Amino acid sequence: MLETILIIVSISLLIVAHEAGHFAVAKLFGVRVDEFGFGFPPRILSKKLGETLYSVNVLPFGGFVRLHGEGVTAGDAEETGIDEKRKFSSRPAWQRASVLLGGVAMNAIFGWILFSVVFAAGVPFHLAVSDVAPDSPAAAVPILPNDIIVQASYGGETLNDPVSLSGFISLVNNAGDGEIALKIKRGGETLEYVVRGRLNPPDGQGNLGVSLLNMGVERLGFAKAIYEGAKSAGLTVYFVAVNIWDVISKLFTSQDAASGVSGPVGIVVIARQTSELGIIFFIQLLAMISLNLTVLNLIPFPALDGGKIIVVALERLMGRAVPERATIAVNSVGLLLLAIILVLVTIQDVNRFF
Protein backbone atom coordinates (compact mmCIF):
# COMPACT_ATOMS: atom_id res chain seq x y z
CA MET A 1 0.00 0.00 0.00
CA LEU A 2 2.81 2.41 0.94
CA GLU A 3 4.60 1.61 -2.32
CA THR A 4 1.45 2.46 -4.31
CA ILE A 5 1.04 5.76 -2.44
CA LEU A 6 4.68 6.70 -3.15
CA ILE A 7 4.20 5.87 -6.83
CA ILE A 8 1.04 8.01 -7.02
CA VAL A 9 2.85 10.90 -5.30
CA SER A 10 5.83 10.53 -7.68
CA ILE A 11 3.58 10.67 -10.74
CA SER A 12 1.64 13.57 -9.22
CA LEU A 13 4.91 15.50 -8.88
CA LEU A 14 5.19 15.42 -12.68
CA ILE A 15 1.82 17.16 -12.91
CA VAL A 16 2.87 19.61 -10.18
CA ALA A 17 6.02 20.30 -12.24
CA HIS A 18 3.72 21.10 -15.17
CA GLU A 19 1.75 23.54 -13.05
CA ALA A 20 5.00 25.01 -11.69
CA GLY A 21 5.87 25.90 -15.28
CA HIS A 22 2.64 27.88 -15.61
CA PHE A 23 3.28 29.44 -12.18
CA ALA A 24 6.85 30.57 -12.95
CA VAL A 25 6.01 32.19 -16.30
CA ALA A 26 2.86 33.83 -14.88
CA LYS A 27 4.93 35.37 -12.08
CA LEU A 28 7.54 36.50 -14.62
CA PHE A 29 4.89 38.51 -16.49
CA GLY A 30 3.21 39.90 -13.39
CA VAL A 31 0.08 37.74 -13.54
CA ARG A 32 -1.24 37.15 -10.05
CA VAL A 33 -1.46 33.49 -9.03
CA ASP A 34 -4.30 33.06 -6.54
CA GLU A 35 -3.61 29.41 -5.68
CA PHE A 36 -1.03 26.68 -6.32
CA GLY A 37 -2.46 23.32 -5.31
CA PHE A 38 -0.97 19.84 -4.93
CA GLY A 39 -3.73 17.34 -5.66
CA PHE A 40 -7.37 18.30 -6.11
CA PRO A 41 -9.85 19.67 -3.51
CA PRO A 42 -11.16 19.46 -0.92
CA ARG A 43 -8.17 20.98 0.86
CA ILE A 44 -6.30 19.30 3.70
CA LEU A 45 -3.72 22.01 4.41
CA SER A 46 -3.21 25.50 3.09
CA LYS A 47 -0.97 28.48 3.76
CA LYS A 48 -0.91 31.88 2.13
CA LEU A 49 2.52 33.24 1.28
CA GLY A 50 2.41 36.68 -0.25
CA GLU A 51 -0.54 36.84 -2.64
CA THR A 52 -0.67 33.09 -3.39
CA LEU A 53 -2.44 30.37 -1.41
CA TYR A 54 -0.46 27.10 -1.39
CA SER A 55 -2.63 24.06 -0.71
CA VAL A 56 -2.39 20.31 -0.23
CA ASN A 57 -5.59 18.55 -1.27
CA VAL A 58 -7.31 15.20 -0.73
CA LEU A 59 -6.99 13.72 -4.23
CA PRO A 60 -3.23 13.30 -4.81
CA PHE A 61 -3.23 12.50 -8.53
CA GLY A 62 -2.39 15.93 -9.95
CA GLY A 63 -2.21 19.61 -9.15
CA PHE A 64 -3.42 22.99 -10.38
CA VAL A 65 -2.65 26.70 -10.65
CA ARG A 66 -5.50 29.21 -10.32
CA LEU A 67 -4.56 32.36 -12.21
CA HIS A 68 -6.15 35.66 -11.23
CA GLY A 69 -9.44 36.29 -13.01
CA GLU A 70 -9.78 32.85 -14.60
CA GLY A 71 -13.38 31.69 -14.76
CA VAL A 72 -14.75 35.13 -13.85
CA THR A 73 -16.88 37.02 -16.37
CA ALA A 74 -16.47 40.74 -16.97
CA GLY A 75 -19.77 41.47 -15.21
CA ASP A 76 -18.65 39.70 -12.05
CA ALA A 77 -15.11 41.11 -11.96
CA GLU A 78 -15.86 44.22 -9.87
CA GLU A 79 -18.04 42.26 -7.44
CA THR A 80 -15.34 39.64 -6.82
CA GLY A 81 -12.52 42.16 -6.39
CA ILE A 82 -10.62 41.33 -9.57
CA ASP A 83 -7.50 43.42 -10.24
CA GLU A 84 -7.79 44.07 -13.98
CA LYS A 85 -4.09 44.83 -14.35
CA ARG A 86 -3.04 41.48 -12.82
CA LYS A 87 -5.55 39.30 -14.68
CA PHE A 88 -4.28 36.57 -16.97
CA SER A 89 -6.68 37.68 -19.71
CA SER A 90 -5.36 41.26 -19.59
CA ARG A 91 -1.85 40.25 -20.67
CA PRO A 92 -0.73 40.49 -24.33
CA ALA A 93 -1.35 37.41 -26.46
CA TRP A 94 2.32 36.39 -26.57
CA GLN A 95 2.55 36.49 -22.77
CA ARG A 96 -0.61 34.41 -22.34
CA ALA A 97 0.69 31.88 -24.86
CA SER A 98 4.00 31.79 -22.98
CA VAL A 99 2.23 31.10 -19.67
CA LEU A 100 0.27 28.27 -21.31
CA LEU A 101 3.44 26.83 -22.87
CA GLY A 102 5.27 27.05 -19.54
CA GLY A 103 3.68 23.82 -18.34
CA VAL A 104 4.61 21.68 -21.33
CA ALA A 105 8.08 23.23 -21.39
CA MET A 106 8.58 22.23 -17.75
CA ASN A 107 7.47 18.65 -18.48
CA ALA A 108 9.86 18.49 -21.43
CA ILE A 109 12.75 19.80 -19.31
CA PHE A 110 11.82 17.45 -16.45
CA GLY A 111 11.76 14.47 -18.84
CA TRP A 112 15.14 15.50 -20.24
CA ILE A 113 16.63 15.77 -16.73
CA LEU A 114 15.26 12.37 -15.68
CA PHE A 115 16.60 10.67 -18.82
CA SER A 116 19.98 12.33 -18.18
CA VAL A 117 19.98 10.95 -14.63
CA VAL A 118 19.35 7.46 -16.02
CA PHE A 119 22.32 7.73 -18.41
CA ALA A 120 24.58 9.26 -15.74
CA ALA A 121 23.76 6.54 -13.19
CA GLY A 122 23.73 3.63 -15.60
CA VAL A 123 22.10 0.25 -15.02
CA PRO A 124 23.94 -3.09 -15.01
CA PHE A 125 22.82 -5.25 -17.92
CA HIS A 126 20.53 -8.20 -17.12
CA LEU A 127 18.60 -10.74 -19.15
CA ALA A 128 14.91 -9.93 -18.64
CA VAL A 129 11.70 -11.70 -19.64
CA SER A 130 9.56 -9.38 -21.74
CA ASP A 131 6.72 -11.81 -22.54
CA VAL A 132 5.59 -15.37 -21.83
CA ALA A 133 3.53 -17.39 -24.32
CA PRO A 134 0.33 -18.95 -22.90
CA ASP A 135 0.41 -22.74 -22.38
CA SER A 136 4.20 -22.79 -22.76
CA PRO A 137 6.72 -24.53 -20.44
CA ALA A 138 7.69 -21.11 -19.04
CA ALA A 139 4.05 -20.24 -18.30
CA ALA A 140 3.59 -23.52 -16.42
CA VAL A 141 6.48 -22.76 -14.01
CA PRO A 142 5.37 -19.87 -13.86
CA ILE A 143 7.95 -17.49 -15.29
CA LEU A 144 6.51 -13.96 -15.49
CA PRO A 145 7.17 -10.82 -17.54
CA ASN A 146 9.83 -8.59 -15.91
CA ASP A 147 11.56 -11.59 -14.29
CA ILE A 148 15.36 -11.30 -14.40
CA ILE A 149 17.28 -14.50 -15.25
CA VAL A 150 20.38 -14.46 -13.02
CA GLN A 151 21.50 -18.06 -13.58
CA ALA A 152 20.78 -20.89 -16.02
CA SER A 153 22.24 -24.42 -15.87
CA TYR A 154 22.05 -27.53 -18.04
CA GLY A 155 24.34 -30.53 -18.48
CA GLY A 156 27.23 -29.11 -16.47
CA GLU A 157 27.11 -25.72 -18.21
CA THR A 158 26.19 -22.75 -16.00
CA LEU A 159 25.56 -19.16 -17.08
CA ASN A 160 25.82 -16.56 -14.31
CA ASP A 161 24.57 -12.98 -14.05
CA PRO A 162 24.80 -11.11 -16.33
CA VAL A 163 23.44 -13.89 -18.51
CA SER A 164 23.95 -13.09 -22.18
CA LEU A 165 21.03 -13.45 -24.57
CA SER A 166 23.05 -15.46 -27.10
CA GLY A 167 24.47 -17.73 -24.38
CA PHE A 168 21.01 -18.42 -22.97
CA ILE A 169 19.54 -19.23 -26.40
CA SER A 170 22.44 -21.61 -27.07
CA LEU A 171 21.96 -23.36 -23.71
CA VAL A 172 18.20 -23.77 -24.27
CA ASN A 173 18.73 -25.14 -27.78
CA ASN A 174 21.32 -27.62 -26.49
CA ALA A 175 18.91 -28.74 -23.75
CA GLY A 176 16.18 -29.71 -26.22
CA ASP A 177 13.45 -31.27 -24.07
CA GLY A 178 15.78 -31.62 -21.07
CA GLU A 179 15.42 -29.88 -17.70
CA ILE A 180 17.00 -26.45 -17.26
CA ALA A 181 17.67 -25.06 -13.77
CA LEU A 182 16.94 -21.35 -13.50
CA LYS A 183 17.48 -18.71 -10.85
CA ILE A 184 15.02 -15.85 -11.28
CA LYS A 185 15.05 -12.45 -9.59
CA ARG A 186 11.51 -11.18 -9.06
CA GLY A 187 11.13 -7.99 -7.07
CA GLY A 188 13.30 -8.47 -4.00
CA GLU A 189 13.25 -12.29 -4.16
CA THR A 190 15.52 -14.82 -5.85
CA LEU A 191 13.53 -17.89 -6.92
CA GLU A 192 14.77 -21.25 -8.21
CA TYR A 193 12.84 -23.17 -10.86
CA VAL A 194 13.32 -26.17 -13.12
CA VAL A 195 11.73 -25.92 -16.55
CA ARG A 196 11.64 -28.62 -19.21
CA GLY A 197 12.06 -27.53 -22.80
CA ARG A 198 9.96 -28.84 -25.69
CA LEU A 199 10.74 -30.04 -29.15
CA ASN A 200 8.96 -28.59 -32.21
CA PRO A 201 7.49 -25.51 -30.46
CA PRO A 202 4.95 -23.26 -32.23
CA ASP A 203 6.45 -20.74 -34.65
CA GLY A 204 8.04 -17.77 -32.93
CA GLN A 205 7.97 -19.21 -29.41
CA GLY A 206 11.17 -21.22 -28.93
CA ASN A 207 11.62 -24.21 -26.63
CA LEU A 208 10.54 -22.40 -23.45
CA GLY A 209 8.01 -19.91 -24.83
CA VAL A 210 9.67 -16.74 -23.51
CA SER A 211 10.61 -13.48 -25.19
CA LEU A 212 13.82 -12.02 -23.78
CA LEU A 213 15.78 -8.80 -23.93
CA ASN A 214 19.03 -7.48 -22.49
CA MET A 215 18.00 -4.68 -20.13
CA GLY A 216 20.51 -2.13 -18.96
CA VAL A 217 21.94 1.32 -19.58
CA GLU A 218 25.61 2.10 -20.14
CA ARG A 219 26.94 4.58 -17.58
CA LEU A 220 27.99 7.83 -19.29
CA GLY A 221 29.91 10.94 -18.33
CA PHE A 222 28.01 14.13 -17.44
CA ALA A 223 28.14 15.85 -20.84
CA LYS A 224 27.35 12.65 -22.75
CA ALA A 225 24.49 11.85 -20.34
CA ILE A 226 22.97 15.30 -20.95
CA TYR A 227 23.26 14.82 -24.72
CA GLU A 228 21.79 11.31 -24.69
CA GLY A 229 19.06 12.49 -22.31
CA ALA A 230 18.06 15.23 -24.76
CA LYS A 231 18.12 12.76 -27.66
CA SER A 232 15.96 10.25 -25.78
CA ALA A 233 13.54 13.00 -24.77
CA GLY A 234 13.20 14.16 -28.37
CA LEU A 235 12.63 10.64 -29.67
CA THR A 236 10.06 9.96 -26.94
CA VAL A 237 8.11 13.11 -27.81
CA TYR A 238 8.14 12.11 -31.49
CA PHE A 239 6.92 8.55 -30.89
CA VAL A 240 4.27 9.69 -28.38
CA ALA A 241 2.94 12.22 -30.91
CA VAL A 242 2.86 9.55 -33.65
CA ASN A 243 1.04 7.09 -31.36
CA ILE A 244 -1.51 9.68 -30.24
CA TRP A 245 -2.20 10.64 -33.85
CA ASP A 246 -2.59 6.96 -34.70
CA VAL A 247 -5.13 6.47 -31.88
CA ILE A 248 -7.10 9.60 -32.82
CA SER A 249 -7.14 8.72 -36.54
CA LYS A 250 -8.50 5.24 -35.79
CA LEU A 251 -11.11 6.25 -33.20
CA PHE A 252 -13.92 6.20 -35.76
CA THR A 253 -12.69 3.26 -37.81
CA SER A 254 -11.43 0.68 -35.31
CA GLN A 255 -12.98 -0.69 -32.12
CA ASP A 256 -9.49 -1.48 -30.78
CA ALA A 257 -8.06 2.01 -31.35
CA ALA A 258 -7.90 2.86 -27.63
CA SER A 259 -7.11 -0.64 -26.36
CA GLY A 260 -3.49 0.28 -25.62
CA VAL A 261 -4.35 3.55 -23.84
CA SER A 262 -3.86 3.62 -20.06
CA GLY A 263 -5.36 5.94 -17.47
CA PRO A 264 -4.30 6.60 -13.85
CA VAL A 265 -5.02 3.01 -12.72
CA GLY A 266 -3.05 1.47 -15.59
CA ILE A 267 -0.16 3.90 -15.10
CA VAL A 268 0.10 3.03 -11.39
CA VAL A 269 0.03 -0.72 -12.16
CA ILE A 270 2.74 -0.34 -14.82
CA ALA A 271 4.76 1.87 -12.46
CA ARG A 272 4.59 -0.79 -9.73
CA GLN A 273 5.78 -3.46 -12.15
CA THR A 274 8.59 -1.21 -13.37
CA SER A 275 9.68 -0.26 -9.83
CA GLU A 276 10.35 -3.94 -9.15
CA LEU A 277 13.16 -3.79 -11.72
CA GLY A 278 14.91 -1.02 -9.78
CA ILE A 279 14.83 2.71 -9.11
CA ILE A 280 16.57 3.65 -12.38
CA PHE A 281 13.93 1.89 -14.48
CA PHE A 282 11.25 3.69 -12.46
CA ILE A 283 12.97 7.04 -13.10
CA GLN A 284 13.04 6.16 -16.81
CA LEU A 285 9.29 5.51 -16.72
CA LEU A 286 8.71 8.87 -14.97
CA ALA A 287 10.69 10.56 -17.76
CA MET A 288 8.43 8.94 -20.35
CA ILE A 289 5.27 9.93 -18.46
CA SER A 290 6.50 13.52 -18.18
CA LEU A 291 7.10 13.66 -21.93
CA ASN A 292 3.68 12.09 -22.55
CA LEU A 293 2.21 15.00 -20.57
CA THR A 294 4.14 17.40 -22.83
CA VAL A 295 2.46 16.04 -25.94
CA LEU A 296 -1.00 15.39 -24.45
CA ASN A 297 -1.32 18.96 -23.18
CA LEU A 298 -0.49 20.36 -26.61
CA ILE A 299 -3.49 18.63 -28.21
CA PRO A 300 -5.83 21.42 -29.44
CA PHE A 301 -8.75 20.29 -27.26
CA PRO A 302 -10.86 22.51 -24.96
CA ALA A 303 -9.55 22.69 -21.37
CA LEU A 304 -6.08 21.49 -22.42
CA ASP A 305 -3.22 23.94 -22.92
CA GLY A 306 -3.28 23.31 -26.66
CA GLY A 307 -6.95 24.30 -26.84
CA LYS A 308 -6.34 27.45 -24.81
CA ILE A 309 -3.43 28.42 -27.06
CA ILE A 310 -5.78 28.12 -30.06
CA VAL A 311 -8.15 30.57 -28.35
CA VAL A 312 -5.28 33.02 -27.74
CA ALA A 313 -4.28 32.73 -31.42
CA LEU A 314 -7.88 33.35 -32.55
CA GLU A 315 -8.10 36.45 -30.36
CA ARG A 316 -4.85 37.73 -31.84
CA LEU A 317 -6.15 37.19 -35.39
CA MET A 318 -9.58 38.73 -34.69
CA GLY A 319 -8.14 41.65 -32.75
CA ARG A 320 -10.64 41.18 -29.93
CA ALA A 321 -11.22 38.87 -27.00
CA VAL A 322 -13.44 35.82 -27.16
CA PRO A 323 -16.33 36.42 -24.70
CA GLU A 324 -15.42 35.05 -21.27
CA ARG A 325 -18.74 33.22 -20.96
CA ALA A 326 -18.07 31.39 -24.24
CA THR A 327 -14.58 30.41 -23.09
CA ILE A 328 -15.90 29.12 -19.76
CA ALA A 329 -18.65 27.14 -21.52
CA VAL A 330 -16.29 25.55 -24.05
CA ASN A 331 -13.73 24.65 -21.38
CA SER A 332 -16.48 23.18 -19.18
CA VAL A 333 -17.63 20.95 -22.04
CA GLY A 334 -14.01 19.97 -22.64
CA LEU A 335 -13.53 19.05 -18.98
CA LEU A 336 -16.73 16.99 -19.04
CA LEU A 337 -15.57 15.07 -22.12
CA LEU A 338 -12.14 14.50 -20.55
CA ALA A 339 -13.84 13.21 -17.39
CA ILE A 340 -15.94 10.78 -19.45
CA ILE A 341 -12.83 9.58 -21.32
CA LEU A 342 -11.03 9.15 -17.98
CA VAL A 343 -13.87 7.03 -16.59
CA LEU A 344 -13.97 4.83 -19.71
CA VAL A 345 -10.19 4.35 -19.72
CA THR A 346 -10.25 3.55 -15.98
CA ILE A 347 -12.90 0.86 -16.56
CA GLN A 348 -10.71 -0.55 -19.35
CA ASP A 349 -7.68 -0.53 -16.99
CA VAL A 350 -9.60 -2.34 -14.25
CA ASN A 351 -10.78 -5.02 -16.70
CA ARG A 352 -7.26 -5.40 -18.09
CA PHE A 353 -5.24 -5.55 -14.87
CA PHE A 354 -7.63 -7.01 -12.26
Bigger pLDDT: 354 or 206? 206
Q: Note the pLDDT of residue 258.
A: 62
- Beta carbons within 8 Å of 47's beta carbon, 6+ residues apart: 53, 54
Q: Note the pLDDT of residue 179.
A: 92
Bigger pLDDT: 39 or 255? 39
* Architecture category of domain 124-217 in CATH: Roll (2.30)
Residue 335: which pLDDT band, with cuts at 50, 70 and 90?
confident
1: pLDDT strictly greater than 70: no
Residue 79: which pLDDT band, with cuts at 50, 70 and 90?
very low
**% of residues, the chain, pLDDT over 70:** 92
**% of residues, the chain, pLDDT over 90:** 38
Q: Note the pLDDT of residue 260.
A: 62
70: pLDDT strictly greater than 90: no
16: pLDDT strictly greater than 90: no
pTM of the model: 0.74
Residue 254: which pLDDT band, with cuts at 50, 70 and 90?
low
220: pLDDT strictly greater than 50: yes
Query: If you average pLDDT over residues 76-86, what whole number do you get?
Result: 63
Question: Per-domain residue ranges for the chain?
Answer: 2-121+258-353, 124-217
Q: Note the pLDDT of residue 293.
A: 92
pLDDT digits (tens, 9 = 90+) for 343-353: 888 787 777 76
pLDDT digits (tens, 9 = 90+) for 168-211: 999 999 988 899 999 998 877 899 999 998 888 887 788 898 98
Supply the mean pLDDT for the chain.
85
294: pLDDT strictly greater than 80: yes
Range in 24-33, 76-85, 323-332 with the lowest mean pLDDT: 76-85
Q: Note the pLDDT of residue 24.
A: 95
97: pLDDT strictly greater than 90: yes
Q: Note the pLDDT of residue 164.
A: 86
Residue 2: which pLDDT band, with cuts at 50, 70 and 90?
low
